[in-house]
């Protein structure tokens, strides 16, 4: 049985991180849990003070940018990558995601 994720919420969270917006919107509890999962699994990372920041906040990792590119609703045809991700046992497992994202036919 595959684990299903709320791709719209994940997309919004990734955009928020990308744009350094702290407010996750209406589903705050779900968003907090998802944000923690995305951080734990390497999709978002903490800013480092050496990168011009003050060490607070978060930024997209290369894996997070790849996920956002796959599920971004502003890109025509984003339903297919979401469907492929939904077919995985756990699409946000780092090894699973990296393997699926590397396949040219997903996009």
CA distance 104 to 40: 26
Does the residue 41 lie in any domain? yes
Q: How many domains does the chain have?
A: 1
Does the residue 1 lie in any domain? no
Q: What is the pLDDT of residues 1-38, one digit of tens each?
A: 778 899 999 999 999 888 865 554 546 778 888 989 99
Does the residue 101 lie in any domain? yes
Does the residue 89 lie in any domain? yes
Distance of alpha carbon 26 from its chain centroid, rounded? Answer: 18
Does the residue 2 lie in any domain? no
Of the pLDDT bands very low, low, confident and very high (cuts 50, 70, 90), residue 54 is very low
Predicted confidence at residue 74, as pLDDT, reads: 84
Domain containing residue 52: 7-106
Predicted confidence at residue 55, as pLDDT, reads: 46
Q: Hey, what are 67's tokens?
A: 């996920």
Predicted confidence at residue 28, as pLDDT, reads: 73
Element (H, E) at 107: none
Distance of alpha carbon 2 from its chain centroid, rounded? Answer: 17
Strand partners, 90: 3
Question: pLDDT at residue 88 above 70?
Answer: yes
**Torsion angle, CA of 88/91/94/95, rounded to 10 degrees?**
10
Mean pLDDT to the nearest integer, 75-79: 76
């Amino acid at each position: 049985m595959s684990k299903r994720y709320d791709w719209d919420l994940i997309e919004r969270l990734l955009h928020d991180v990308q744009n350094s917006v702290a407010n996750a919107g209406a589903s705050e509890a779900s968003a907090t849990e998802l944000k923690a999962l995305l951080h734990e699994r390497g999709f978002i990372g903490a800013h480092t003070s050496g990168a011009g920041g003050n060490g607070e906040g978060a930024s997209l990792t290369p894996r997070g940018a790849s996920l956002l590119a796959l599920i971004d609703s502003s890109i025509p045809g984003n339903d297919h990558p979401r469907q492929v991700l939904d077919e995985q046992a756990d699409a946000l497992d780092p090894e699973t995601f990296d393997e699926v994202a590397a396949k040219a036919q997903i996009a």
